[in-house]
Structure 1
Amino acid sequence: MKTNSLLLYSCLLTMAACAGKNNVPATETINALNLKKGKTIFCGPADKQLGAVSFKISGNGKVQEDFNMALAMLHSFEYDEAEKAFADVIRKEPGCAMAYWGVAMSNFHPLWSPPSKEEFDKGVKAVAIAKSIGKKSKKETAYIDAIGAFYDVNAKDHRARCINFEKAMEKLHLDYPDDQDAATFYALALNSAADPADKTHAKQRKAGELLAKLGFDKSFHPGVIHYIIHSYDYPELAERALPAARKYASVAPSSAHAQHMPSHIFVRLGLWDESIYSNTIAADAARCYAENAGIKGHWDEELHSLDYLVYSYLQKADNKRAKQLCDYLNTIREVHPVTPKVLYSFAAIPARYVLENRMWKEAAVLEAHAAGNDWKKFPWENAIIHFTRLLGAVNLNQLDAARTELKTLTALHDELIQKQEAYKANQVQIQVKASEAWILFKEGKHEEALKQMNLAATMEESTPKPPVTPGEVAPARELLGDMLLAMNRPAEALEAYASNLKDRPNRFNALYNAGLAAERSNNAGKAADYYRRLLASSNAPGADRPELTAARLFLEKQKTLAVR
């Protein structure tokens, strides 16, 4: 891609420079961008509430309002609609350099997956045109140079480009300290360039502190509020983002992403009702978008919200609604675009339902969703299905079947290594270690099993949760607790569950099994505390999981003993 893009970049620069004498790129040059077109789609209030941004651009001012709307959509990651809005600015004023900057930014997706080849090439072209236009301010030139640093065709890889962008935005922010958007995009750049292996979250903390100084509590700038949520989307930091999470949806109600994103923090903190409310609206907005955009089938963002919804319903013991969504998922036959988050949702949603409910027979024969396109192209997402089958087989003592699934998981891990997808490979390796541990346990090799299970838990805790998921389908530390409980080592099991609950508060199975482990350790006080927390958190009307009945019976018994 480097050689072809570099040649394309050079040719476009030459073409655009020749046309740039009048600060208006040639029509052919603009057409080569293949910009997204059409009416921008909003699935929210009719008055297009996207927050408040104000970025002064060069030109006659006729497109200023349109540019600000496009910028607001960009800050809420409404990338397709933002590009269409920037394209409309270009149509009205083709000499607006910052509109081409907006197109390049709309194809960047800093906290999502790297740009596709088509997106990258479009970004290269847009930067070339923006640079060729002479009529722009010094600050606008700095913005264009900053995104140009990302689209450097000589950069080693996506991470190197993100670091390039971070450095360029840092300089821009220092040169223009009073520019709110410069500070906001610098914070975003810090998040995009953060090292996933850095458990101190140094860059994310720096970004959060920078955004806090902008006064997010009084601000209606969508980027300021939105990026605080991303900066603190970690177990130990999530509490800091709660005020922003509770504000963001009301600041940008016309953005589907603004409805969903707060639930990242709600899930981190075990606030299931707020997560359900957030994702219900987000899923409705996604269906609205699919209809209005003329998408055949479903929009990928809907499935992302469904995964968060099912996860939250299960933690509230609302099996009825969780099952309804699983059944609804089975009716879906077509999704656009086919992104990794689509395949992840197709795998994770049914896996969660059977694993959370300990439905081992169903888990052991879980089938890949028929609309999942070619599962072979998505080894990490495919691994979820095989891991679920393995856990089902192990718990049914079907060890031959479990070993077969382990071989598949190992092959999927090796495939990801060959593809140089280290993060995803590590995610599957955690599943491999947990699987090996449970097979060893069933073989009676308890100490070896615990060694492997501890390794899996340590690996998982040293790896940040991917934003595509509300949580692992089976947290490793929780599986360790289950193993210790099965070994009749309840005191150690209680430690594992308590540790798991620090990072994943209010998980149904962790709360119940922590209570059970405390009960078996003859610690009635702790058992009662966990059971009360379980009943308070898992309070869905009509919830009838047997664990809730057991928790109530224990508390009633304790109450009776106290009276005596």
Structure 2
Amino acid sequence: MKKTLFKLQLLFFISCALLVSCKGKTSAPSKEAIAQIGLKRGKLVLCGVPEKHFGSVDFEISGEGKIKEDFNLAVALLHSFEYDEAEKAFAKIIDENPDCAMAYWGVAMCNYHPLWTPPTGFELEKGARAAAIARSITQKSIRETEYIDAISSFYTDWDKVDHHTRSVNFEHGMEKVHRDNPGDKEAAIFYALALDAAADPTDKTFRNQKKAASILFALYPGEPNHPGVAHYIIHTYDYPGLATLALPMARRYASIAPSSAHALHMPSHIFTRLGLWDESINSNLASISSAQCYAPAAGIKGHWDEELHGMDYLVYAYLQKGENKLAKAQWDYLNNITDVYPVNFKVAYAFAAIPSRYVLENKLWAEAAKLELKPKKIPWRNFPWQAAIVHFTRLMGNVHLNNLDSAKVELAKLNVLCDTLVKQKDTYKANQVKIQITASEAWIAFYKRNNDEALRLMNLAANMEDQTEKHPVTPCEVIPARELLGDMLLQMNKPEQALQAYEADLKTHPNRLNGTKGAALAAERSGEIKKTDYYHLQLLNLASGGSGRPELAAIRQPY
């Protein structure tokens, strides 16, 4: 009887301990353990509107007063992917309340950044240390323990298990938090984020995304100013056929969190999907300006990665309006950038994609054939997919100049890069390079006058691309494969088939200038008068502000 009573008393004591707030002082980690995390600290750097405008968040934690206010700001920053500033906000809480387990959870979340570039080894170590400390602190509620267990599952065996598998582990962890705490809005929002992060890029049913959307839209009426709800709806519907559903949110998110450079940029994902180029341009100009303000204020040497990310989307939008001078000005500006922080996936992508897009969209084959990987400071060996973009561009340039030996040299390099990605078990990026390889082989076959093989391969490349999705960091494939198919068919004097290819691609990439121009030419050569007029008018609308594209001048004359 005494033993039973003792066990009940012990269980009661443990239960009480688990419900103690962040203010408890009995299990704080040592200063040495905290120092080993390597926390980012300092005054929060804010750009945009003067006030701290990051939206409204009410994350339930046990503490009251200042700690809750600080925690809500940190979570709001986290929801807009302002990871450095969010970590500084969580670090401030740790410095003042070293036994607040959820502050370490926040640091671990800052170093995961789902939907963005995967964490580096340094970030994985940091996040794992923070998660371990969070788990070691006993003064936390059962709900907080579940949050911490969820993020810990992402970092478990991070040096042995691939990123996608660990993202799925996080999804399952957040599903448990959401299921066990049905009234917790933050659990629902982070679960929706986890669903998007763990989505299979080849799943054309969008199972995860649709589930995430149902959660987020159910929350929106009661949380109209929540940055995570708006932000994640945009990511959730960042797909052809779904993007229209996120347009109202895209037009609202920047006003919810106007002090976030990423929030200013993020709506352009939907604008890009829908071919709303003016809105995309305005969105990215605002984001770039905010990022340029942030870099010196944060003590960054050179440029912040968010600036280059916005530039990537901005150049793409300029090119779709035929604004060559404005696009070239961004490329020239890019050529003067040598120092960027941090050097990551999206930085390497911008450096590779911006010049490649310019020369390919304008069919500047001589310039394309000699394009170089710049700047040299970028460790391109760490970014094989991005390097492949430039080699693909060089190959296409050489093919169209009929320099087939040089094209084959570039093809060999693409195969090496693809093999590297396969060995790294990066299936998605390896597949993207395979699409480029297949398209490259098609064009080499075409210039060898083997039309049947060229069409077989180009159709294969287009079908491969149809079965997957673009990476969420990028505005578009450098050149859509089905548009390339249309170009090839047009050169083979098969205008009816070319028109079908262009029109199929325009459903996925609406208002692309070259696709629209190709459709107009194919329709004209097919004798499709109504479609010719339709696509000519589309071109005039796209390039209504004047264009640096000389081939559009002839179309402009009759109207």
Task: Using structure 2 for the length normalisation, give the TM-score.
Answer: 0.93
Q: Does the 8 A contact of 2:171 with 2:194 survive in 1?
A: yes
Q: Does the 8 A contact of 2:25 with 2:99 survive in 1?
A: no
Residue 124 (str. 1) matches residue 128 (str. 2):
yes
Aligned residue type for 2:168: I
Partner of 1:187: 192
Partner of 2:155: 151
Q: Does the 8 A contact of 1:332 with 1:371 survive in 2?
A: no
2:241 paired residue among 236, 247, 253: 236
How far off its partner does 1:546 sit? 2.7
**1:71-110 to 2 correspondence within 5 Å?**
71-110=75-114
1:282 paired residue among 278, 287, 312: 287
1:368 paired residue among 362, 368, 373: 373
2:34 paired residue among 21, 30, 37: 30
1:454 paired residue among 452, 459, 464: 459
The 3-state SS of whatever aligns with 1:56 is coil
1:268 paired residue among 248, 269, 273: 273
How far off its partner does 1:117 sit? 2.3
Aligned residue type for 1:252: A
**1:44-443 to 2 correspondence within 5 Å?**
44-153=48-157, 156-215=161-220, 219-443=224-448
How far off its partner does 1:140 sit? 1.6
Aligned residue type for 2:549: R
Aligned residue-pair number: 535
Q: For structure 2, which runs of at least 5 residues remain unmatched after alignment?
A: 1-23
How far off its partner does 1:544 sit? 4.0
Deviations 1:394-424 (A, max 9, x none): 1122222212221221222122222222211
Alignment CA distance shift 1:538-1:197 (3 Å)? same
The 3-state SS of whatever aligns with 2:52 is coil
Partner of 2:43: 39
Tell which deviates more after alignment, 398-407 or 76-85: 398-407
Alignment CA distance shift 1:378-1:306 (3 Å)? same
Q: Does the 8 A contact of 2:111 with 2:123 survive in 1?
A: yes
Q: Does the 8 A contact of 1:399 with 1:439 survive in 2?
A: yes
Q: Does the 8 A contact of 1:58 with 1:96 survive in 2?
A: no
Aligned residue type for 2:547: A
The 3-state SS of whatever aligns with 1:257 is helix
- Give the Cα–Cα distance (whole angstroms) in 2 for the partners of residues 507 and 294 of structure 1: 39
How far off its partner does 1:479 sit? 0.5
Aligned residue type for 1:258: A
Alignment CA distance shift 1:448-1:208 (3 Å)? same
Alignment CA distance shift 1:205-1:60 (3 Å)? closer
Partner of 2:5: none
Aligned residue type for 1:42: L
Q: Does the 8 A contact of 2:516 with 2:539 survive in 1?
A: yes
How far off its partner does 1:115 sit? 2.2
Aligned residue type for 2:202: A
Deviations 1:17-42 (A, max 9, x none): xxx97132222222222111111111
- Give the Cα–Cα distance (whole angstroms) in 2 for the partners of residues 476 and 62 of structure 1: 54
Q: Does the 8 A contact of 1:343 with 1:372 survive in 2?
A: no
Aligned residue type for 1:281: A
How far off its partner does 1:213 sit? 0.6
Tell which deviates more after alignment, 237-246 or 152-161: 152-161
Alignment CA distance shift 1:532-1:44 (3 Å)? same
The 3-state SS of whatever aligns with 2:103 is helix
- Give the Cα–Cα distance (whole angstroms) in 2 for the partners of residues 178 and 448 of structure 1: 59
Aligned residue type for 1:209: S
How far off its partner does 1:216 sit? 5.4
Q: Does the 8 A contact of 1:59 with 1:96 survive in 2?
A: no
Deviations 1:308-338 (A, max 9, x none): 1111001011111111111111111111111
The 3-state SS of whatever aligns with 2:182 is coil
Q: Does the 8 A contact of 1:437 with 1:449 survive in 2?
A: yes
Aligned residue type for 1:452: L
How far off its partner does 1:238 sit? 0.7
Give me the identity figure in percent.
59
- Give the Cα–Cα distance (whole angstroms) in 2 for the partners of residues 162 and 323 of structure 1: 38
How far off its partner does 1:114 sit? 2.6
- Give the Cα–Cα distance (whole angstroms) in 1 for the partners of residues 523 and 246 of structure 2: 32
Residue 524 (str. 1) matches residue 508 (str. 2):
no
- Give the Cα–Cα distance (whole angstroms) in 2 for the partners of residues 93 and 86 of structure 1: 10
How far off its partner does 1:339 sit? 0.7
How far off its partner does 1:340 sit? 1.9
Q: Does the 8 A contact of 2:117 with 2:346 survive in 1?
A: no
Residue 479 (str. 1) matches residue 513 (str. 2):
no
How far off its partner does 1:62 sit? 2.9
Aligned residue type for 1:118: F
The 3-state SS of whatever aligns with 1:296 is coil
How far off its partner does 1:61 sit? 3.2
Q: Does the 8 A contact of 2:272 with 2:317 survive in 1?
A: yes
Alignment CA distance shift 1:197-1:515 (3 Å)? same
Partner of 1:559: none
1:491 paired residue among 489, 496, 500: 496
Tell which deviates more after alignment, 446-455 or 327-336: 327-336
Alignment CA distance shift 1:331-1:483 (3 Å)? same
Q: Does the 8 A contact of 2:223 with 2:229 survive in 1?
A: no
- Give the Cα–Cα distance (whole angstroms) in 2 for the partners of residues 153 and 447 of structure 1: 49
Q: Does the 8 A contact of 2:178 with 2:184 survive in 1?
A: yes
The 3-state SS of whatever aligns with 1:63 is helix
- Give the Cα–Cα distance (whole angstroms) in 1 for the partners of residues 206 and 449 of structure 2: 40
- Give the Cα–Cα distance (whole angstroms) in 1 for the partners of residues 112 and 493 of structure 2: 52
How far off its partner does 1:250 sit? 0.5
Alignment CA distance shift 1:412-1:493 (3 Å)? same
Aligned residue type for 1:264: H
Tell which deviates more after alignment, 315-324 or 160-169: 160-169
Alignment CA distance shift 1:503-1:216 (3 Å)? farther
How far off its partner does 1:372 sit? 4.6
Alignment CA distance shift 1:126-1:458 (3 Å)? same
Deviations 1:474-529 (A, max 9, x none): 11100100000000000000000001100100000100110110000001100110
Q: Does the 8 A contact of 1:334 with 1:371 survive in 2?
A: no
Aligned residue type for 2:90: F
Alignment CA distance shift 1:48-1:259 (3 Å)? same
Aligned residue type for 2:413: T
